Amino acid sequence: MKGRTIVLDHIKGREAAALMVDGKLDDFLIAADAPAPGTIYRARADRPVKGQGGMFLSTPDGPAFLRQVKGLAPGALLLVQVTGYAEPGKALPVTDRVLFKSRYAIVTPDAPGLNISRSIRDEDERDRLLEIAHEVMDGSDYGLILRSCCAGEDAGEIAEDISAMLAHADAVVNDPGTEPELLLEGDGPHVLAWRDWTDPAEVETRAGSFGTHGVLEALDTARGISEPLPGGGHLFIQPTRALVAVDVNTGVDTSLAAGTKANFACAKTLARALRVRGLGGQITLDLAPMPKKDRRGFESALRAAFKSDPIETTLAGWTPLGHFELQRKRARLPLSEVLK
């Protein structure tokens, strides 16, 4: 099946959203029991961690950890936003740079100024969007970023979206409470799909659509350790407590170039495989044998694949043993944990 389809449904009682591209599962979001990224708390500073330059905070949902903090005294109240999921037994990762993000707009209370996405290069379009921003944000001290999907969209819809985010920001920033409190829950999968999957797509919302569009079958693959590669090879993806190990297998191909072909197929497939499985942290690739002269090409292919991935990933490089390492933000919980 060619084209893009966004499927909104539920699985095991949890709200979920799937993005199917040309009949293949390209992305998957599912509600978890832990606080979702984007959740905003009024938190209380608890105790500093001098060696790490951070501070433990108290929230209604347990301890949180704020990195690189200065001048914050224990007992002080502050707004923080969840940036990802905590590793088992660790505190929630949070930031004090709170953002209010929607489909078209990001309101930044701590960073004044009106900005347009750099990917919008047409000067007339930038001027049009800037005019909309000035009109809606007039009198506000908050900052605004208009996202790339604003290009060519209706001025009224963009203005309405900005106004809604501005109202959310005002309500949260000016909340009069004096105790730790949950002020705004992070967006669920259906809202996130509307917010972030902005390329043209058909949208399917009927109950049971995961079954009719092949999502359940794709999830069965994603919950296992094996990911097929074009050409007959496989990735074996196994999370451990310390890292995610990825082994590249050439399968039935026994040609001299089999290792190189499998590794380049891995470069194109890996981002989607990790994204669908919800895996992050330290990732180590045990690649198939290939000449060292092909390493630069492999890195370029890997970098190109992760460029369009929404989750922050750093390509760390090669180890002395010839493994390749990545560091990926824990923006999601592992699918295997959510769908036990």
For the chain, residues with pLDDT lower than 50 are: none
The Cβ of residue 286 has, within 10 Å, a number of other Cβ atoms equal to 14
How confident is the model at residue 1, as a pLDDT? Answer: 64
Provide the whole-model pTM: 0.92
How confident is the model at residue 68, as a pLDDT? Answer: 81
How confident is the model at residue 86, as a pLDDT? Answer: 87
